[in-house]
Amino acid sequence: MGEISEGLERLLYTQPVPSTTASRLKALLRWEGGSTRQVAAVLGVSQRTVQRWVTRKAGGSRRPSARHEEAIADLVRARWQPRIRARRRATAEEHGVVVHARARFGFRAGAGTSDDPRQRLITARLSGTVTQQMFAALDAGVSEKRHQLVLSRALGHAYFRDGGRRAHGLQVVLEEIDFIDFALL
């Protein structure tokens, strides 16, 4: 995932997704009623393997492989706070979001302008339509470059062109995102 994708995902949660494999397995067990058999069926491994992963005995604990850790992380992320995520996404798509970012912005404009990219700290409001486009791109699994294109057009309109009131021929190029965060209005 890229910076923009991760920022959109963080927007949807009110509590952070568990970050360790042990806490993720604990969440999966809680959702499956404590049944290692059901967790094993969901992950496509044996019940004994899941039991080894969650045991606390010395020498009995075995870590999942990288492939299994990724599957566990994806499963927990998909199941984490589903109703809250749906509600926050609907709110964001209806009312828009505030984006706070530090990135390198450059321009493509007419002669006599300074189009050299430089680091900027920007806070701007994005409309619900733009937010819908960004979530559609997230759902489609597009590349980070596509997310940057959508965001650079939106920030160009909202911030640099002041909602269409100035700098009419200016095209904004977004590069090298240091950090980005989204918040509901």
Which H or E element spans position 155? helix 144-155
**Domain-terminating residue out of 60, 79, 98:** 79
Which of 91, 93, 100 lies closest to 155, judged by CA?
100
Indicate the pTM of the whole model.
Answer: 0.76
Shared domain for 34 and 67, answered yes or no, is yes
Please check whether residues 179 and 116 belong to one and the same domain.
Answer: yes
Q: Bin 142: left if φ > 0, else alpha if -120 < ψ < 50, else beta.
A: beta
| 63 shares its domain with 139 | no
Amino acid 145: pLDDT: 87
- What is the average pLDDT score of the chain? 87
Residues 64 and 94 in one domain: no
Q: For residues 140 and 172, state if they share a domain.
A: yes
Same domain assignment for residues 121 and 59? no
Range of the domain at 70: 18-79
Task: Specify the amino acid at residue 102.
Answer: R
Q: 66-125, pLDDT tens digit by residue?
A: 999 999 999 998 899 999 999 999 999 999 999 999 988 877 656 665 666 778 898 999
Residue 4 inside a domain? The answer is: no
Q: In this structure, what token pair is assigned to residue 148?
A: 């940057």
Q: Are 47 and 92 members of one domain?
A: no
- Top-ranked range on mean pLDDT: pick from 2-6, 60-64, 108-112, 153-157: 2-6
